[in-house]
Structure 1
Amino acid sequence: MPRVIIWSECQYTKLALKEIISRKLPYVNEVISYDHGDEVNLYAKDYLIIDPSGGGFHRCYEFLRENMSVLDPERILIMSSAVDMLMLELLLKKEFKFLKKKNELPVVVTSVEQFIQLQGTTLNKQAFNYNITRMEEKVLVMMMSGLSVTSISNILKLSVKTVSVHKCNSLRKIGVDANSSSALFFLHKHAVGNRIGS
């Protein structure tokens, strides 16, 4: 029997997903709410529903990075904004299943049911080779967690200029010109722009 592990910093998301799974998928053996710092042994057959939204993106990314050797990407559902999923795919060089968090409840219920039954979605295997450096990756992940360039420079003990260079380089490598209006559109459209700073 499958286990479903729910990773989210939002207690309401965890409770709602547990309720959906218990009502619609009674054959699921166990639903585990994973909290930061919990000790949970993960297995390749586990299903993982992950919500990286808000300030939890950094912890979500670290959790996935630490466990990607165990987890099957086909059994991972990212429940978030499109930009969170895009960044996780780019940084982890994997393609995940995706569910917009703001969907209506019937859509969420159907999508979760199809996901756990491994129906209705296929993965397109593609190579993510953007040559993003470790420091650019770190800055990108911190930006996604809502930190400004100034905050990142304080945390990493780097100058604001250096952090800005890493930010611009990483955005350019993933195909977003950091100096253009398209970058602002991209970032604001996905609710990241207000948190980045220059």
Structure 2
Amino acid sequence: MSLVSPHHAEELRLGARELGVDLSPLQHEQLLAYLALLIKWNKAYNLTAVRDPDEMVSRHLLDSLSVVRFVAEGGQRWLDVGSGGGMPGVPLAILFPERAFTLLDSNGKKTRFLTQVKLELKLANLEVVHSRVEQFQPAAAFDGITSRAFSSLQDFASWTRHLGNCDTRWLAMKGVQPDDELQALPPDFRLEACHVLKVPGCQGQRHLLILRRTS
């Protein structure tokens, strides 16, 4: 029995269109293959708290695709911190094959899953790193750093400060607008923009906060 149904395929196609994301047939196929791996491995590895496959298209795939237009604005080298099951890093790597995405997580089970995704989907532009974020030392600063429900904004900025510079954009995906967290931002970070994300099929609020270093 296939883990991904025609209903999932149609929900993805319509949801992407609603988000203004133009999926090629290959990208649509790769996203569904990723979904199938997520459903399969989640049974044993507890990759995500969402257990129902019928919720995964909206809460994982479409949620990740909701930031595509902000990633499209620039940057060749991206880091997804605390990537977990690979959101938003894997969908973004599928959408932008010409850019490099590093997916970082300290959980070995999750990085093993991500390595399997890279192999099965043949994502040459994706690198998986098993490390704590504070200990990760890349050769150069990243152009963009994403996180999805990874930590507070204060911790996100503090723990990844050494991975970016004044040209880097930090993209933090959140639920409700975290006003308290914004008050606690480190002094060398500022909020550049806050966008309300409308994710097809998702109940509840979604926000994207774009941060910059000031020094």
| Pairwise TM-score range, normalised by the shorter structure | 0.3 to 0.5
Q: Which has the higher helix share?
A: 1
Q: Which has the higher strand share?
A: 2
TM-score normalised by structure 2 residue count: 0.35
TM-score normalised by structure 1 residue count: 0.38
**Higher radius of gyration, 1 or 2:** 1
